[in-house]
């Protein structure tokens, strides 16, 4: 039997207001026995949290390309110092947003020249919560959490982000699970957990063969 050297990398994507954080929490609770590591982007490191502050909560405008590099710099730090060591140790990592966010928001929404750096690992599974952009924005506005710099963009921007997510999911159907985010949180969670359990079962089979 070969020893398993790589963990499982699961990412959550979707528009603001889709209930991503709730689903991340529910999944982490369901997998608690396996002690998953949970991160949110941008963030998860000291540098990442500082970048989060600059890129989401400062009023200054910045070029689309600078914004793209800031999100990716935060990600590179998180990857090198947290995610990759955890995966190498066989852990489950759940990341609330990853490179698909930069492709959708900075690429699709802003038109920045985003690619997927060869050194950024591909997730084993990406859960895309799908919600019409106007519904997501209404949910954030009525939730009282306050809008970040990206949330405050006009509806057309959010439509372009949603269209970019659709293209990304269509181009990589094995990696993406699209889930309608208008359902009840428990129903969405059941769908997500079903897929995660199959992924874990497949990886056990691979590890023991
Ligand atoms: P969230 O913590 O509520 O998901 O908010 C993060 C915000 O940052 C959200 O508006 C999407 C945006 N974002 C990008 O535009 N590009 C990225 O690469 C990431 C990770 C987030």
pLDDT in tens, 80-134: 999 999 999 999 999 999 999 999 999 999 999 999 999 999 999 999 999 999 9
- Give how far Cα 115 sits from Cα of 65, 120, 132, Å: 12, 11, 25
Q: By alpha-carbon position, which residue is closest to atom 21 of ligand 1?
A: 101
What is the domain partition of the chain in residue ranges? 8-208
Determine the distance from the C-alpha atom of residue 182 to the mean position of all C-alpha atoms in its chain, rounded to a whole number: 18
CA-CA distance, 143 to 151, in Å (whole number)? 13
pLDDT in tens, 50-65: 999 999 998 778 999 9
Which is higher by pLDDT, 204 or 128?
Answer: 128
CA of 103 to the centre of ligand 1 (A): 11
pTM: 0.95
Residue 5's pLDDT band (boundaries 50, 70, 90)?
A: low
pLDDT at position 3 over 50: no
**C-beta 110 within 6 A of ligand 1:** no
The b-or-e profile of 140-173 (16+ CB within 10 A means b, else e) is beeeeeeeebbbebeeebbbbbbebbbebbeeee
Residues 7-49: tens digit of each pLDDT: 999 999 999 889 999 999 999 999 999 999 999 999 999 999 9
52, 56, 129, best to mutate for ligand 1 pocket (most atoms within 8 Å of CB): 56
Ligand 1 center to residue 34 CA distance, Å?
A: 27
Q: Reading across the β-sheet that carries 176-180, which strands appear in turn? A: 37-40, 92-96, 8-13, 125-130, 176-180
CATH topology of domain 8-208: Rossmann fold (3.40.50)
Check pLDDT > 70 for residue 4: no
Q: Do 34 and 92 touch, CB atoms closer than 8 A?
A: yes
């Amino acid at each position: 039997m070969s020893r398993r050297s790589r963990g499982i990398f699961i990412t959550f994507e979707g528009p603001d207001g889709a209930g991503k954080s709730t689903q991340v929490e529910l999944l982490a609770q369901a997998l608690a026995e396996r002690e998953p590591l949970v991160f949110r982007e941008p963030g998860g490191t000291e540098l990442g949290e500082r970048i989060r502050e600059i890129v989401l909560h400062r009023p200054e405008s910045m070029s689309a390309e600078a914004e793209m590099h800031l999100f990716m710099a935060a990600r590179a730090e998180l990857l090198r110092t947290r995610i990759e060591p955890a995966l190498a140790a066989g852990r489950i990592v759940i990341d609330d947003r990853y490179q698909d966010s930069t492709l959708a928001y900075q690429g699709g929404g802003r038109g920045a020249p985003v690619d997927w750096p060869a050194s950024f690992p591909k997730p084993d599974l990406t859960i895309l919560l799908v919600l019409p952009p106007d519904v997501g924005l209404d949910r954030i506005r009525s939730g009282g959490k306050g809008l970040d710099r990206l949330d405050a963009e006009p509806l057309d921007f959010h439509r372009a982000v949603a269209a970019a997510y659709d293209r990304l999911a269509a181009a990589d159907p094995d990696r993406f699970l699209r889930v309608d985010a208008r359902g009840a949180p428990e129903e969405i969670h059941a769908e997500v957990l079903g897929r995660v359990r199959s992924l874990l079962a497949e990886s056990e089979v691979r590890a023991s063969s």
